[in-house]
Structure 1
Amino acid sequence: MLDTISRGYDAFTSILFQNGVQPLLYAFGMMEWEEDAFAWMDFIVFGVLQVLVVYAICRPLEAWRPVERWDDRRVVWTDVTYTLLARLGVLPLIAFVLLAGVQAQFDGWLTDMGWVPPTLETLIPGLDARPLLAFALYILIIDFGEYWRHRLQHTLPWWWALHSIHHAQEKMTFWTDDRNHIIDDMIAALWVGGLALLIGVPPGQFPLIVLIMRVAESLSHANVRLSFGAVGERLVVSPRFHRFHHGILSAGEEGRNFAVLFPVWDMIFRTGDFRRDVFPRTGDPEAPASLVHGGWWRQQLDGTRRLVAAIRGARAG
């Protein structure tokens, strides 16, 4: 099934390139850019696919049973800008491709030294014959890494200076998932892409893993009064579960509910709150007005200033 999905996507991008992009390159005498153009077209197509899938799932839910209603949605449109810039760039895929080249050279050097780096399939005998199980384990391991990346965003002062942009939103919607400082996005892309390469995720499966996690994260940020129940909320992160994380009493180091996809990590490390009747107001009371109401560029500048201040403060201390 996974191979069928991958082949179908590859066939679609090939047809699009051959019938749309390639003729334009030829007409403008830019065929030397053919290989690079195909790679970037693939990134953009995948980003558009992410946005369409997320919108089709999350927008009807927000219209059906919103937690809050607002007349002024200007700050929500700022989050839309974040989403389009982030997903049409598809940073995790770019990081995966760039790191793959580095890893190939590194693996070659290790092989010359007489050592072959292990992958998940080599560590678990028979896993290569069970692709769906391997795929599920890839997601589980990457989600574990995402849990700890998220906790570090809240505990390291310099990282919180960046991540606080995400938590400053008082009108949270499914668009808020991508409300991040660009440096924070770059770190996340390298983190996820590097971990995926480390455990041997096949290149054809990585985009599908990214899509699944993106949809789950967008849904968890949705402005919808939705809980998965006492059992379900311990299996998969719900909008209620993650909204508590964005609540005004859960910002900074006192954060709860860090899990991205599977709440089991919050259960194991005792950072979960499973009160299903709690839908708190979102935002960070300590965030400056620019991070709450400012546009994309203003928030990026102020986030950078806060990062520099946090680093200087750490050195002075």
Structure 2
Amino acid sequence: MQDNITPPDRYDPTSNLAKRSILAYFSALLGVLALLGVLCFHFPELFTSKEFREAYTEDFARNLMLVGLIAAFAMGTLAILRGGDRVPALIGVGGATLAVLLGGATIKFDPIDKTPFSLGLDWFVISLFFSALVFIPIERILGQRKQLTLRAEWRTDIAYYFMSHLLVQFILIAITASTATISHFAAFPVVQDAIQSLPVWCQFLLAVFFADLAQALLHRAYHRLPWLWRFHAIHHSSRHMDWLAGSRVHLVEILLTRIGVLIPLVVLGFAPAAVNAYVILVGLQAVLAHANLGIRFGWLEYLVVLPRYHHWHHAQEKAYMDVNYAIHLPLVDMLMGTFKLPPQHAWPIAYGVMKPETVPTGIVRQHLAPFFGKW
């Protein structure tokens, strides 16, 4: 263990962060999501993803909107009456009110026409809603480390969450649109035929393995090559591991990783349904792997990447800075010789780059830092 490890921020119930009203900020979140949901209802061709629409029904979307509006009103009103954090509470109530005035859950729309692109805003709204709904209570009850829900830099990571979810949609659209061109350069027709002959569920499992192998090799390059580390260090700058921490990824890294992973899947001939399912899995597992969960999963930790496995990759400890690159399957690290997991009772003492002060705060400054900062 190193002597210069920076200890984690201590939980202080008397701090300004601790005194923030969870109800007020939840109301603000739901109010903003309601407004984004209204945009999806009014302009489904532009703001909703065709692939993701197939995963839910119109009634589900309307009921979810209704629940969100009621919760935003109720939480915001209660927070205002209690006198805490009135600004975010007013944002929540105001956003929900505007969403209702714009039609709310009663908006009618015609059959959705096919468009060359869409923003995928529905994927962001639904994934953020359910991620917060599931992981915030679980982390408070089963968290390995006691820390604030509204911990330092949570706004920065929410901004990253928004950027990364929408950007992945654009990358997927661009690659899917150029499938014919990319496949034209493929020199593996036998492999393509073999993969396309498999059922979609089997293609999905193979896609997870090949994609994880590709991203793990690229991930290791991020750690080994200084010019790539400048971008990847942003991801390792967070000193708090929770469901939001995995979203902190530099735009350049998102582009390199998603293109480097998705193009091989297209070249190998995987069905669009299998590729889309993999993209959804990436979003879900990125949240899970970084979550603050102290659950002991036993032998499952050797089959699937779970929180403790990936937490050690973020540890401020040199012995773990070149291990556990996989994001889906520990088998990939075993094949690469980079698998390392201590006994089940062991968790990292602190997270983040060795000198956190070398990375600025805020999404804008962090995006500029690799180009102008001294590392």
TM-score of the superposed pair, with normalisation by structure 2: 0.65
Deviations 1:2-53 (A, max 9, x none): xxx978338759x99xx96978xxxxxxx9xx835xx324x22123233234
Inter-partner Cα distance in structure 2 for 1:204 and 1:21? 29
The equivalent of 2:189 in structure 1 is: 118
Inter-partner Cα distance in structure 2 for 1:117 and 1:20? 48
Q: CA, structure 1 residues 161+20, in 2 after alignment: closer, same or farther (shift >3 Å)? A: farther
1:21-36 pair list within 5 angstroms: 35-36=115-116
C-alpha displacement at 1:236, in angstroms? 0.5
C-alpha displacement at 1:237, in angstroms? 0.9
The one-letter code matched in structure 2 to 1:234 is Y
Give the conservation status (yes or no) of the 8 Å contact 2:237–2:359. no
The equivalent of 2:303 in structure 1 is: 235
Alignment of 1:284 with 2:375, yes or no, is no
Q: Percent identity?
A: 22
The equivalent of 2:312 in structure 1 is: 244
Give the conservation status (yes or no) of the 8 Å contact 2:203–2:274. no
C-alpha displacement at 1:86, in angstroms? 1.6
C-alpha displacement at 1:240, in angstroms? 0.7
Deviations 1:78-132 (A, max 9, x none): 2122112221x1x333223213343423545x6xxxx9752755135xx625332
1:81-230 pair list within 5 angstroms: 81-87=159-165, 89=166, 91-107=167-183, 117-118=188-189, 120-123=191-194, 128-229=197-298
Give the conservation status (yes or no) of the 8 Å contact 1:92–1:190. no
2:156 to 78, 84, 88: 78
C-alpha displacement at 1:213, in angstroms? 2.1
C-alpha displacement at 1:260, in angstroms? 0.4
Gaps of 5+ in 1: 24-30, 311-317
Inter-partner Cα distance in structure 2 for 1:56 and 1:145? 32
Alignment of 1:48 with 2:48, yes or no, is no
Deviations 1:262-293 (A, max 9, x none): 001222222122212221111112343543xx
C-alpha displacement at 1:241, in angstroms? 0.8
> Match of 2:147, SS?
coil
The equivalent of 1:9 in structure 2 is: 55
Q: CA, structure 1 residues 7+201, in 2 after alignment: closer, same or farther (shift >3 Å)? A: farther
Alignment of 1:261 with 2:328, yes or no, is yes
Give the conservation status (yes or no) of the 8 Å contact 1:146–1:259. yes
Give the conservation status (yes or no) of the 8 Å contact 2:144–2:292. yes
Give the conservation status (yes or no) of the 8 Å contact 2:314–2:321. no
Q: CA, structure 1 residues 214+137, in 2 after alignment: closer, same or farther (shift >3 Å)? A: same
Give the conservation status (yes or no) of the 8 Å contact 2:222–2:229. yes
Give the conservation status (yes or no) of the 8 Å contact 1:93–1:193. no
Give the conservation status (yes or no) of the 8 Å contact 1:96–1:194. no
The one-letter code matched in structure 1 to 2:131 is V
Inter-partner Cα distance in structure 2 for 1:248 and 1:10? 41
Inter-partner Cα distance in structure 1 for 2:176 and 2:169? 10
The equivalent of 1:271 in structure 2 is: 338
Q: CA, structure 1 residues 141+56, in 2 after alignment: closer, same or farther (shift >3 Å)? A: farther
Give the conservation status (yes or no) of the 8 Å contact 2:246–2:290. yes
Gaps of 5+ in 2: 1-50, 63-105
Indicate the structure whose relative CO is greater, using CA pairs within 8 Å and at least 6 residues apart.
1
Q: Name the one with the larger helix percent.
A: 1
> Match of 1:177, SS?
helix
Inter-partner Cα distance in structure 1 for 2:190 and 2:160? 35
2:143 to 54, 66, 73: 66
TM-score of the superposed pair, with normalisation by structure 1: 0.76
Inter-partner Cα distance in structure 1 for 2:191 and 2:331? 21
> Match of 2:239, SS?
coil
